[in-house]
Amino acid sequence: MSDLTITDFSRLLVSEIHRILPQDNSNRLHLAMRYSVLAPAKHLRPFLVFASSWIFGIKEILKVAAAVEFIHVYSLIHDDLPCMDNSDFRRGQPACHKKFDEATAILAGDALLTLAFEVLSTSIEDSNKCVRVIKTLSTAIGYNGMVGGQVLDLVASNVGKVHDVHLLKTAKLFSAACEIGAIMGGASGEECKALSSYGIKIGLAFQAKDDLNDYLQKNETSNIVLSIGLENTKEYIKKLLDDAANYLNLFLNRTNYLYSVVELIRDL
Protein backbone atom coordinates (compact mmCIF):
# COMPACT_ATOMS: atom_id res chain seq x y z
CA MET A 1 0.00 0.00 0.00
CA SER A 2 3.02 2.30 -0.04
CA ASP A 3 2.11 3.72 -3.45
CA LEU A 4 -1.61 4.05 -2.81
CA THR A 5 -3.17 7.26 -4.16
CA ILE A 6 -6.09 9.10 -2.60
CA THR A 7 -8.19 7.87 -5.53
CA ASP A 8 -7.14 4.28 -4.82
CA PHE A 9 -8.03 4.75 -1.16
CA SER A 10 -11.44 6.18 -2.10
CA ARG A 11 -12.24 3.06 -4.10
CA LEU A 12 -11.36 0.84 -1.16
CA LEU A 13 -13.34 3.04 1.21
CA VAL A 14 -16.43 3.04 -1.00
CA SER A 15 -16.30 -0.77 -1.20
CA GLU A 16 -16.20 -0.93 2.59
CA ILE A 17 -19.04 1.56 2.89
CA HIS A 18 -21.14 -0.56 0.53
CA ARG A 19 -20.65 -3.49 2.91
CA ILE A 20 -21.58 -1.47 5.99
CA LEU A 21 -24.63 0.48 4.83
CA PRO A 22 -28.10 -1.09 4.87
CA GLN A 23 -29.18 -2.12 1.38
CA ASP A 24 -32.96 -2.41 1.43
CA ASN A 25 -34.00 -0.53 -1.71
CA SER A 26 -37.61 -0.51 -0.54
CA ASN A 27 -36.64 1.48 2.56
CA ARG A 28 -36.64 5.25 1.99
CA LEU A 29 -34.27 5.90 4.90
CA HIS A 30 -31.75 3.36 3.60
CA LEU A 31 -31.93 4.88 0.13
CA ALA A 32 -31.32 8.39 1.50
CA MET A 33 -28.33 7.22 3.53
CA ARG A 34 -26.76 5.50 0.54
CA TYR A 35 -27.58 8.37 -1.80
CA SER A 36 -25.66 10.83 0.35
CA VAL A 37 -22.70 8.71 1.45
CA LEU A 38 -21.99 7.19 -1.96
CA ALA A 39 -22.01 10.48 -3.88
CA PRO A 40 -18.62 11.30 -5.50
CA ALA A 41 -16.30 12.86 -2.91
CA LYS A 42 -12.67 13.65 -2.06
CA HIS A 43 -12.77 11.54 1.14
CA LEU A 44 -10.03 13.64 2.72
CA ARG A 45 -11.12 13.09 6.32
CA PRO A 46 -11.17 9.29 6.16
CA PHE A 47 -7.94 9.40 4.17
CA LEU A 48 -6.34 11.28 7.07
CA VAL A 49 -7.33 8.42 9.38
CA PHE A 50 -5.53 6.01 7.07
CA ALA A 51 -2.54 8.30 6.45
CA SER A 52 -1.95 8.90 10.16
CA SER A 53 -2.27 5.24 11.11
CA TRP A 54 0.04 4.31 8.22
CA ILE A 55 2.94 5.98 10.04
CA PHE A 56 2.66 3.24 12.65
CA GLY A 57 2.21 0.39 10.18
CA ILE A 58 -1.55 -0.01 10.62
CA LYS A 59 -3.24 -1.35 7.47
CA GLU A 60 -6.70 -2.50 8.57
CA ILE A 61 -8.38 0.85 9.17
CA LEU A 62 -11.19 1.08 6.60
CA LYS A 63 -14.08 0.57 9.02
CA VAL A 64 -12.80 3.32 11.31
CA ALA A 65 -12.25 5.58 8.31
CA ALA A 66 -15.78 4.84 7.10
CA ALA A 67 -17.18 5.90 10.47
CA VAL A 68 -15.47 9.29 10.09
CA GLU A 69 -16.99 9.65 6.62
CA PHE A 70 -20.45 8.85 8.02
CA ILE A 71 -19.99 11.68 10.53
CA HIS A 72 -18.92 14.08 7.80
CA VAL A 73 -21.84 13.21 5.53
CA TYR A 74 -24.33 13.53 8.38
CA SER A 75 -23.05 17.06 8.91
CA LEU A 76 -23.40 17.89 5.20
CA ILE A 77 -26.98 16.61 5.06
CA HIS A 78 -27.98 18.76 8.01
CA ASP A 79 -25.97 21.80 6.86
CA ASP A 80 -27.82 21.78 3.53
CA LEU A 81 -31.27 21.98 5.12
CA PRO A 82 -33.32 25.14 4.50
CA CYS A 83 -33.13 26.07 8.18
CA MET A 84 -29.33 25.94 8.07
CA ASP A 85 -27.22 26.77 4.98
CA ASN A 86 -30.13 26.21 2.59
CA SER A 87 -28.15 24.51 -0.19
CA ASP A 88 -29.92 22.72 -3.02
CA PHE A 89 -26.89 20.80 -4.28
CA ARG A 90 -24.14 18.77 -2.70
CA ARG A 91 -21.31 16.83 -4.33
CA GLY A 92 -22.64 17.46 -7.82
CA GLN A 93 -26.16 16.22 -7.16
CA PRO A 94 -29.34 17.48 -5.47
CA ALA A 95 -29.00 17.71 -1.70
CA CYS A 96 -30.60 14.93 0.31
CA HIS A 97 -33.60 17.04 1.31
CA LYS A 98 -34.19 17.96 -2.36
CA LYS A 99 -33.90 14.37 -3.58
CA PHE A 100 -36.14 13.06 -0.81
CA ASP A 101 -37.66 15.50 1.70
CA GLU A 102 -36.60 17.43 4.79
CA ALA A 103 -37.81 14.87 7.31
CA THR A 104 -36.04 12.02 5.52
CA ALA A 105 -32.86 14.09 5.27
CA ILE A 106 -32.86 14.85 8.99
CA LEU A 107 -33.40 11.19 9.83
CA ALA A 108 -30.75 10.03 7.33
CA GLY A 109 -28.27 12.35 9.02
CA ASP A 110 -29.28 11.05 12.44
CA ALA A 111 -28.94 7.47 11.24
CA LEU A 112 -25.44 8.07 9.84
CA LEU A 113 -24.32 9.77 13.04
CA THR A 114 -25.41 6.84 15.19
CA LEU A 115 -24.14 4.28 12.66
CA ALA A 116 -20.68 5.81 12.93
CA PHE A 117 -20.48 5.05 16.65
CA GLU A 118 -21.98 1.59 16.14
CA VAL A 119 -19.22 0.83 13.64
CA LEU A 120 -16.49 2.12 15.95
CA SER A 121 -17.80 0.25 18.98
CA THR A 122 -18.01 -3.05 17.09
CA SER A 123 -14.87 -2.87 14.96
CA ILE A 124 -12.16 -1.69 17.40
CA GLU A 125 -11.23 -4.73 19.46
CA ASP A 126 -8.91 -2.96 21.90
CA SER A 127 -11.33 -1.47 24.44
CA ASN A 128 -8.96 1.27 25.53
CA LYS A 129 -8.38 2.41 21.96
CA CYS A 130 -12.10 2.20 21.27
CA VAL A 131 -12.96 4.51 24.17
CA ARG A 132 -10.23 6.98 23.19
CA VAL A 133 -11.34 7.06 19.56
CA ILE A 134 -14.99 7.61 20.49
CA LYS A 135 -14.04 10.33 22.97
CA THR A 136 -11.84 12.09 20.41
CA LEU A 137 -14.49 12.01 17.72
CA SER A 138 -17.46 12.94 19.91
CA THR A 139 -15.54 15.89 21.37
CA ALA A 140 -14.61 17.15 17.90
CA ILE A 141 -18.15 17.11 16.56
CA GLY A 142 -20.18 18.33 19.56
CA TYR A 143 -21.10 21.68 21.04
CA ASN A 144 -17.45 22.71 21.31
CA GLY A 145 -16.62 21.47 17.83
CA MET A 146 -18.48 20.95 14.59
CA VAL A 147 -22.00 21.60 15.88
CA GLY A 148 -20.83 24.69 17.74
CA GLY A 149 -19.15 25.86 14.55
CA GLN A 150 -22.37 25.49 12.60
CA VAL A 151 -24.21 27.61 15.16
CA LEU A 152 -21.49 30.24 14.97
CA ASP A 153 -21.57 30.12 11.17
CA LEU A 154 -25.16 31.33 11.25
CA VAL A 155 -24.07 34.60 12.88
CA ALA A 156 -20.42 35.03 11.78
CA SER A 157 -19.76 38.60 10.67
CA ASN A 158 -16.11 39.42 11.35
CA VAL A 159 -12.63 37.94 10.88
CA GLY A 160 -12.42 36.54 14.40
CA LYS A 161 -15.67 34.69 14.07
CA VAL A 162 -14.85 33.44 10.56
CA HIS A 163 -11.63 31.92 11.92
CA ASP A 164 -13.55 30.36 14.80
CA VAL A 165 -16.09 28.90 12.38
CA HIS A 166 -13.28 27.35 10.34
CA LEU A 167 -11.68 25.93 13.48
CA LEU A 168 -14.83 24.44 14.98
CA LYS A 169 -16.81 23.48 11.91
CA THR A 170 -13.97 22.07 9.79
CA ALA A 171 -10.54 21.86 11.41
CA LYS A 172 -11.52 19.96 14.54
CA LEU A 173 -12.84 17.01 12.52
CA PHE A 174 -9.66 17.01 10.41
CA SER A 175 -7.67 17.01 13.64
CA ALA A 176 -9.77 14.20 15.11
CA ALA A 177 -9.26 12.08 11.99
CA CYS A 178 -5.50 12.41 12.39
CA GLU A 179 -5.60 11.75 16.12
CA ILE A 180 -7.77 8.69 15.60
CA GLY A 181 -5.18 7.28 13.22
CA ALA A 182 -2.52 7.95 15.84
CA ILE A 183 -4.55 6.26 18.58
CA MET A 184 -5.12 3.20 16.41
CA GLY A 185 -1.37 3.08 15.77
CA GLY A 186 -0.47 3.18 19.46
CA ALA A 187 1.21 6.58 19.15
CA SER A 188 2.86 8.32 22.08
CA GLY A 189 1.34 11.43 23.61
CA GLU A 190 3.81 13.62 21.73
CA GLU A 191 3.02 11.89 18.44
CA CYS A 192 -0.74 12.22 18.99
CA LYS A 193 -0.33 15.93 19.71
CA ALA A 194 1.78 16.47 16.58
CA LEU A 195 -0.74 14.72 14.34
CA SER A 196 -3.66 16.50 15.97
CA SER A 197 -1.93 19.86 15.39
CA TYR A 198 -1.14 18.86 11.81
CA GLY A 199 -4.86 18.16 11.34
CA ILE A 200 -5.86 21.57 12.70
CA LYS A 201 -3.54 23.33 10.26
CA ILE A 202 -4.70 21.18 7.35
CA GLY A 203 -8.36 21.77 8.20
CA LEU A 204 -7.94 25.53 8.48
CA ALA A 205 -6.03 25.61 5.19
CA PHE A 206 -8.64 23.46 3.45
CA GLN A 207 -11.49 25.72 4.51
CA ALA A 208 -9.56 28.91 3.68
CA LYS A 209 -8.72 27.52 0.25
CA ASP A 210 -12.39 26.72 -0.27
CA ASP A 211 -13.27 30.31 0.67
CA LEU A 212 -10.58 31.60 -1.68
CA ASN A 213 -11.89 29.55 -4.60
CA ASP A 214 -15.45 30.74 -3.87
CA TYR A 215 -14.23 34.34 -3.89
CA LEU A 216 -12.36 33.91 -7.17
CA GLN A 217 -15.48 32.38 -8.71
CA LYS A 218 -17.44 35.47 -7.57
CA ASN A 219 -19.45 33.50 -5.05
CA GLU A 220 -18.79 36.20 -2.48
CA THR A 221 -20.59 34.93 0.54
CA SER A 222 -19.23 35.58 4.01
CA ASN A 223 -15.72 34.16 4.00
CA ILE A 224 -12.18 34.82 5.11
CA VAL A 225 -11.15 36.64 1.90
CA LEU A 226 -13.71 39.35 2.54
CA SER A 227 -12.39 39.64 6.09
CA ILE A 228 -8.61 39.82 5.59
CA GLY A 229 -8.16 40.39 1.86
CA LEU A 230 -7.00 38.32 -1.09
CA GLU A 231 -3.22 38.46 -0.66
CA ASN A 232 -3.42 37.97 3.11
CA THR A 233 -5.58 34.89 2.55
CA LYS A 234 -3.03 33.41 0.15
CA GLU A 235 -0.23 34.00 2.67
CA TYR A 236 -2.38 32.61 5.47
CA ILE A 237 -2.98 29.38 3.53
CA LYS A 238 0.71 29.02 2.68
CA LYS A 239 1.74 29.44 6.32
CA LEU A 240 -0.85 26.94 7.52
CA LEU A 241 0.37 24.32 5.06
CA ASP A 242 4.02 24.98 5.89
CA ASP A 243 3.21 24.66 9.60
CA ALA A 244 1.33 21.41 8.94
CA ALA A 245 4.34 19.95 7.13
CA ASN A 246 6.63 20.99 9.98
CA TYR A 247 4.63 18.91 12.45
CA LEU A 248 5.58 15.83 10.43
CA ASN A 249 9.28 16.38 11.16
CA LEU A 250 8.78 14.42 14.39
CA PHE A 251 8.32 11.23 12.37
CA LEU A 252 11.19 9.45 10.64
CA ASN A 253 9.29 7.79 7.82
CA ARG A 254 5.94 6.70 6.39
CA THR A 255 4.68 10.30 6.26
CA ASN A 256 4.33 10.31 2.47
CA TYR A 257 0.54 10.21 2.56
CA LEU A 258 0.27 13.11 5.00
CA TYR A 259 2.68 15.19 2.91
CA SER A 260 0.56 14.39 -0.15
CA VAL A 261 -2.46 15.97 1.56
CA VAL A 262 -0.47 19.18 2.11
CA GLU A 263 0.36 19.34 -1.58
CA LEU A 264 -3.17 18.39 -2.60
CA ILE A 265 -4.57 21.38 -0.71
CA ARG A 266 -1.91 23.67 -2.20
CA ASP A 267 -3.14 22.65 -5.64
CA LEU A 268 -6.89 22.80 -5.02
Most confident residue range from 80-89, 128-137, 146-155, 156-165? 128-137
Decide if pLDDT at 237 tops 70.
yes
Could you tell me the pLDDT band of residue 219, with boundaries at 50, 70 and 90? low
Rg over CA atoms, the chain: 18
Decide if pLDDT at 82 tops 80.
yes
At 1 the pLDDT is: 56
CATH assignment at residue 101:
1.10.600.10
DSSP string of 27-84?
A: -HHHHHHHHHHTS----HHHHHHHHHHHTTT----HHHHHHHHHHHHHHHHHHTSTTT
Q: Give the residue numbers spanning the domain of 178.
A: 6-267
Which residues are CB-neighbours of 51 under 8 A, at least 6 positions away? 178, 181, 257, 258, 260, 261
Whether residue 153 lies inside any domain: the answer is yes
- Residue 64 Rama label (left phi>0; alpha psi -120 to 50; beta): alpha
φ/ψ of residue 44, rounded to 5: -65, -45
Whether residue 61 lies inside any domain: the answer is yes
If one counts the domains in the chain, the total is 1
This prediction has a pTM of: 0.94
Of 32-36, 69-73, 82-86, 99-103, give the lowest mean pLDDT range: 82-86
Which residues are CB-neighbours of 182 under 8 A, at least 6 positions away? 52, 53, 55, 56, 191, 192, 195, 196
At 162 the pLDDT is: 82
Mean pLDDT in residue range 147-175: 85
Whether residue 1 lies inside any domain: the answer is no
Give the pLDDT confidence of 154-167 residue by residue, as tens digits. 876 555 578 889 99
Whether residue 138 lies inside any domain: the answer is yes
Mean pLDDT of the chain: 93
Of 73-82, 196-205, 214-223, 224-233, give the lowest mean pLDDT range: 214-223
